[in-house]
C-alpha cells in the first residue's frame, strides 16, 4: 500500500478538488489508517492547506463534494474547525437552494456514481454534528436514485436514465443482448454503501434498507466475478470486454472485504471472492507502484485501457481494498 500511495502522490493528476481525487484521497486516508505513515498524513494535510478545505465549484453536484470526505476524516483527527466549516456551508446551501442538477435532471443524484460522492459526506456530517437531519437528507436523495436506476431483476444499478430499458425492451444493450451495467458504476455504489453503513447509527430506521441493498448487490457481484478474480467493464457481457478492470474490481473487493469483516456477508462464497480479487488486483500493480488496467474517465463500459492505463481513482479503489483485506481473519 505504501508503494502504491507514494507512486500516485508523485504522479498527481486533475484539480485537487476534482471527484477523481475525492476517490483517491479517500483511499489515501484509508492507507493512513492502516499504516500510520507520517508521510501519508502529511500529504493529506497538505492537500487541505492547498485547497483551503474548499469543495469543488458546483455546490449542488455530488462530484464536487467528494473531496469533503477526506476533509471530514481529517477534522475528526485534528478537530480544526477550518477543516469542517466549508463543507458545512456548501451542504447548507445545497439543502436549501435547488440548483442546476435538480433543474436539469429532476433529482440531485441522477447518476449512480453520485452514490459514492455525496452520501458519505452527509452521513459523516450527521455523526460529527450529532444532527439526524443529515441522515434524513441522505436517505431522501438516495432513495430517489434507487427508485430511478436500480434493477430488481439483476440487482444492479444502471449508470443513469439513458441506460434504462423500457417495458418494450427498447434501450441501449450490449452485443450479447444484455442490458448495460457498468462495473465501475456499480463499484461506486458499493463503496458508497460501505461509507454509509460505517456512519449510520445502529438503530437508525433506514439501516435495514442499506444493509439489504448491500447484501443483495454483493451476492450478485460475486456471481459476476470472473475466474481470474476481476470484474469486466461490462458486468453482463464479460466476453466482449477481455481483461479485468482495476477500478470497478477495486471497489468491489473493498466492499466485499468490509462486508465480510463486519459480519454482513456470511456465506461461504465471500471470503474466497475477496482473496481472489486481491491477488488479481496486486497483479495489476507495476514494480514502481502504478495501478494499471484502469478504465479512463467515462460513463459506460469501454475497452480503451491496458497495463499502462492509470487513474487516481483506480489507485484510491486499490488502497480502500487493501485497507480492508489486511483485516481479514
- 133-190 pLDDT, tens digit per residue, is 999 999 999 999 999 999 999 999 999 999 999 999 999 999 999 999 999 999 999 9
The pLDDT > 70 percentage for the chain reads 100
- Please answer whether residues 189 and 116 qualify as being in contact, where contact means their C-beta atoms are separated by less than 8 angstroms: yes
**Catalytic status, residue 113:** yes
Residue of 18, 60, 63, 113 marked catalytic: 113
Res 242 pLDDT > 90: no
- Please answer whether residues 321 and 291 qualify as being in contact, where contact means their C-beta atoms are separated by less than 8 angstroms: no
Domain residue spans of the chain: 2-166+173-325
Give the mean model confidence (pLDDT) for residues 32-39: 97
Q: Where do we find the cell 491477488?
A: 279
- Please answer whether residues 187 and 247 qualify as being in contact, where contact means their C-beta atoms are separated by less than 8 angstroms: yes
Dist. CA 59–CA 62, nearest whole Å: 8
pLDDT band at 127 (very low <50, low <70, confident <90, very high): very high
Handedness of CA 6, 112, 84, 67 (dihedral sign): positive
For 2-166+173-325, CATH number out of 3.20.20.100, 1.50.10.10, 3.40.640.10, 3.40.50.300 equals: 1.50.10.10
Handedness of CA 153, 233, 110, 97 (dihedral sign): positive
Element (H, E) at 325: helix 312-325
Q: What is the pTM of this model?
A: 0.98
82-96 pLDDT per residue, tens: 999 999 999 999 999
Amino acid at each position: 500500500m505504501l508503494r502504491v500511495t507514494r507512486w500516485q502522490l508523485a504522479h498527481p493528476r486533475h484539480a485537487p478538488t476534482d471527484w477523481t481525487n475525492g476517490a483517491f484521497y479517500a483511499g489515501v486516508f484509508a492507507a493512513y489508517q492502516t499504516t500510520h505513515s507520517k508521510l501519508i498524513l502529511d500529504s493529506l494535510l497538505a492537500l487541505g492547506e492547498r485547497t483551503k478545505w474548499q469543495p469543488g465549484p458546483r455546490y449542488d453536484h455530488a462530484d464536487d463534494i467528494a473531496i469533503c470526505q477526506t476533509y471530514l476524516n481529517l477534522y475528526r483527527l485534528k478537530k480544526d474547525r477550518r477543516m469542517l466549516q466549508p463543507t458545512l456551508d456548501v451542504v447548507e446551501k445545497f439543502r436549501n437552494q435547488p440548483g442546476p442538477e435538480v433543474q436539469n435532471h429532476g433529482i440531485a443524484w441522477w447518476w449512480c456514481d453520485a452514490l459514492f460522492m455525496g452520501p458519505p459526506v452527509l452521513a459523516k456530517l450527521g455523526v460529527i454534528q450529532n444532527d439526524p437531519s443529515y441522515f434524513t437528507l441522505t436517505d431522501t436523495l438516495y432513495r430517489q436514485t434507487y427508485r430511478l436506476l436500480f434493477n430488481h431483476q439483476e440487482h444492479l444499478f444502471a449508470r443513469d436514465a439513458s441506460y434504462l430499458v423500457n417495458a418494450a425492451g427498447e434501450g441501449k444493450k450490449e452485443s450479447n443482448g444484455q442490458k448495460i451495467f457498468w462495473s465501475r458504476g456499480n463499484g461506486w455504489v458499493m463503496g458508497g454503501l460501505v461509507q454509509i453503513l460505517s456512519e449510520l447509527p445502529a438503530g437508525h430506521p433506514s439501516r435495514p434498507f442499506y444493509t439489504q441493498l448491500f447484501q443483495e448487490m454483493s451476492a450478485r457481484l460475486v456471481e459476476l466475478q470472473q475466474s481470474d478474480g476481476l470484474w469486466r467493464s461490462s458486468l453482463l457481457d464479460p466476453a466482449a470486454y477481455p481483461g479485468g478492470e482495476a477500478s470497478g474490481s477495486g471497489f468491489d473487493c473493498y466492499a466485499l472485504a468490509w462486508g465480510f469483516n463486519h459480519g454482513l456477508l456470511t456465506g461461504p462464497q465471500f471470503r474466497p471472492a475477496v482473496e481472489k480479487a486481491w491477488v488479481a488486483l496486486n497483479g495489476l500493480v507495476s514494480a514502481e507502484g502504478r495501478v494499471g488496467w484502469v478504465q479512463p474517465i467515462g460513463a459506460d463500459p469501454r475497452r480503451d485501457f491496458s497495463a499502462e492505463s492509470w487513474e487516481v481513482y483506480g489507485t484510491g479503489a486499490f488502497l480502500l481494498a487493501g485497507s480492508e483485506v489486511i483485516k481479514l481473519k
